[in-house]
Structure 1
């Protein structure tokens, strides 16, 4: 291969990589509304997209309540953000989504301080975790990703209703890979397939938003797929696979800021389709199971039964 051919090949390869990176970045939020004086609650505000969203809202004039499990990490993150955004108002509330008692306590602590909540962002989650159970005996991903958020939302619902608030649920394109009509909360260790439960938990988050929108005229509830984002969510995949895929991920996966764009759009936009599933800052095609009223009603009723003693 002569030098000219080599140079041309490298230029073409570089151009292709740039185009792929631009395409992978996805939609960009262009909406902006005044958030001064509003109260915004977000779960998982210490890492990944949650941290980015807190940073992006830091100068908005809103009070941001960041809920997460590790108090020490949370305080360090808040101090880091405050060192850049001097006038921001960020507070931390302890929240362990794997324990419904903790969820209840977190919600009640928030309500003791704030009687109106403008936006609830159910962002925190885990993926492909080994077989395990929450404190109440539910499969970890269904418990952390879904049931904990269901209870938190129900506890804060009255405060959200008072100011026609918004509930923004982090779902995933993985929700479209789940095709069973049952969404159980308890798993058996034998034959356990972690990714199936992750998909189920993310479908449940989308259904929860859709059902909230149907049941309540005083709030807007939506779900979203942030895109494939390069965050710590991938930590439970084999280490060798993470290292092998690392160069590819830098090109085809979104950064946390790029992944946060759809959520920022749903926070800021004056025109949001209630109950819809969003991706790249616009409504997207959802799992057809969400059109099955029996499945959705059963999930809602099962969720109420699982959490009612904590309400």
Structure 2
């Protein structure tokens, strides 16, 4: 009997631990505009729902318009008077990113919150429309270009925030400058980790460049979340199914994204990393300014842009 009670306590403790931190901010976002990539499912959808409930105009940037519209309709049903829009964006195609930004800048006057949320994980070797390895192309380069195209609007709308969804996986990543696109060898897990480290390094360098602009940028680890992200890996899908009770729900996984987007105490905090709505450590390779600057320069070269 005692053993059963102890086992139950362990399960309950594990579930509480897995749920992680909760954003306690009650900040309103009336009159504010937020843009969230990959917001048609998972933590992106939950983040959009929360920001809409705070009064923000929320724009869902999705590759799958049909799913995006379904999400927008659900948010409108759950939040009376919700201002939700859906716009097409394929982060695996720089032409799509540029077209999206061009229309966005023409039709939207302010942008206060940009959440770079979309991502791919452990997919088989594929290239984007521009020939980039898929993880690096979508998770890093796609968001790099999107942020570049919208940074002027963010500055004009300041105070503003950029939130970058990274992962604890950045600890296991290295920027392989000699083979960024994994043409010499490919491991889906390592490619994912490299892209998540790139998120952290991008945030580090961007925060330096935004000094004095009243635009902040922070990165976060959402936790291990039950989502569609592992669909490309049979092993990970099986593990996620077996241990689903210990994983975060999308709503729980969205809490740190929401925290970084709205928490009043972060109004001047930039270049930091968060997990469970609290500051978190960054891997040594994610704290190297030289690597961050080099990756920045290489990214600009690959994308054909100049970002001073």
TM range (shorter): over 0.9
Offset of residue 159 of structure 1: 0.6
Alignment of 1:117-136 (within 5 A): 117-136=111-130
Secondary structure, in 3 states, of the residue corresponding to 2:189? Answer: helix
Distance in 2, Cα, partners of 1:98 & 1:10: 50
Corresponding residue to 2:159 among 161, 164, 169: 164
Distance in 2, Cα, partners of 1:158 & 1:242: 40
Alignment of 1:106-255 (within 5 A): 106-162=100-156, 163-180=158-175, 182=177, 185-188=180-183, 191-216=185-210, 217-218=212-213, 219-238=215-234, 242-243=237-238, 245-251=240-246, 253-255=247-249
Ranges in structure 1 where 5+ consecutive residues have no aligned partner: 1-6
Partner of 1:278: 274
Distance in 1, Cα, partners of 2:104 & 2:178: 30
Ranges in structure 2 where 5+ consecutive residues have no aligned partner: none
Alignment root-mean-square deviation, CA: 1.8
Offset of residue 215 of structure 1: 0.5
Offset of residue 32 of structure 1: 2.5
Offset of residue 184 of structure 1: 5.0
Structure 2 residue 90 is the aligned partner of structure 1 residue 60: no
Structure 2 residue 74 is the aligned partner of structure 1 residue 80: yes
Offset of residue 212 of structure 1: 1.0
Offset of residue 57 of structure 1: 1.7
Corresponding residue to 1:103 among 84, 93, 97: 97
CA 1:279–1:62 in 2, change beyond 3 Å: closer, same or farther?
same
Distance in 1, Cα, partners of 2:289 & 2:205: 10
Contact 2:174–2:193 (8 Å) recurs in 1: no
Deviation beyond 4 Å, 4+ runs, structure 1: none
Offset of residue 30 of structure 1: 1.0
Offset of residue 290 of structure 1: 2.5
TM-score (norm 1): 0.92
Distance in 1, Cα, partners of 2:66 & 2:20: 34
Larger radius of gyration: 1
Distance in 2, Cα, partners of 1:238 & 1:19: 28
Secondary structure, in 3 states, of the residue corresponding to 1:51? Answer: helix
